[in-house]
Amino acid sequence: MPHPNDSAPLACRFIVIGTSSGGLAALRAVVAQLPANLPAAVLVTMHIGKQHSVLPTLLETHTSMQVSFAADGEAPLEGHIYIAPPDLHLLLDGGAMRLVRGAKENHSRPAIDPLFRSAAITLRRAVIGVVLTGDLDDGTVGLKAIKASGGVTVVQDPADAEAPSMPSSALRYASVDHCLPLAEIGKCLDGLVRKPDESGTAPSEPRRIEPYETEHEICLQGGSVSIKHLGKHGQISNLTCPECGGGLWEMGFAPPRFRCHTGHSYTVKTLALQQDVVIEEALWVAIRSLHEKKALLDRQVATAQLSDRPGVASEYELAGKQLDSHVEALMRLIGSLDGEIDEFLRVEGSTEV
């Protein structure tokens, strides 16, 4: 397969697809429409986390194309579908696929943005980015990178999606070329990859697309990129990374997003959700500490009673009851967190920028 920066006219020869909730049915519907002789390699990231996955097996019965997990260092071939394996980001670097266990992005690994971003940088206009059904907003920033590089963007119609949040976010923030129901996406992709490129030849020295290039280097190199390079493309915020405790840089405004120098990356939605996780963990630590202190006080009560000191025992009992009330208050607070974050996401999702 020719390198996308060769001087010959280009066709869109790579398709990158991102999906999350409801993604299995959506992927099956799309790949069923793709012919075995599709003149493109298809790379897929689905939010499968670190659990064992049989996604290639679940897809291969619905398509005439070959389906497999991506392998590190392998060159993608036309007519083949490559799946990001569990707990690894799938990237493109030069003419090969790379699998890296870098920091989570949008609290996911594999995540969609790293794949899309790397495809935009590596392939320029020779890539088509596709966002399908999913919760929250992973893939939006990556789709913007693809558009900035001259690629084509396709989004599932939110009204047709099992989980409309990801497609809705992409439509809200990215410039989308095609918004289609599932039944039409595969046919659209087949037509796009067969359409000759009409924009002339690729530049011999393509411009850097920032901040996406620096972010790709951070992901590819495991956070070894200098902090000063990140500072060139973002503004340090007064927030800290909920996963590693490092400082967060604000990297953009549409959508607002944050990144630490080790590689963790968040949109406002995913940052708020991860902050909620950290808050709950801290509250459970506080509850555990209160339980332990109550157990110590109970021992002191028993000791005071055995030594015939009823006044002292009463003081310890009163202190224990106060601790019980603190535990009850913290439990109520934990119970309220889900409702608060749901309301935050509802309001954030309906606010125009």
Catalytic residues: 20, 47, 138
DSSP-H helix ranges across the chain:
23-31, 55-60, 112-123, 140-148, 165-173, 182-194, 212-220, 227-231, 268-306, 310-350
Instruction: Yes or no: say if 242 and 274 are a contact pair by the CB < 8 Å rule.
Output: yes
Give the whole-angstrom CA distance, residue 39 versus residue 51.
32
Give the whole-angstrom CA distance, residue 225 versus residue 10.
32
Instruction: Yes or no: say if 146 and 159 are a contact pair by the CB < 8 Å rule.
Output: no
Token pair belonging to 317: 């009992």
Instruction: Yes or no: say if 161 and 27 are a contact pair by the CB < 8 Å rule.
Output: no
Q: What is the CB-side half-sphere exposure of residue 242 using CA atoms within 13 A?
A: 22
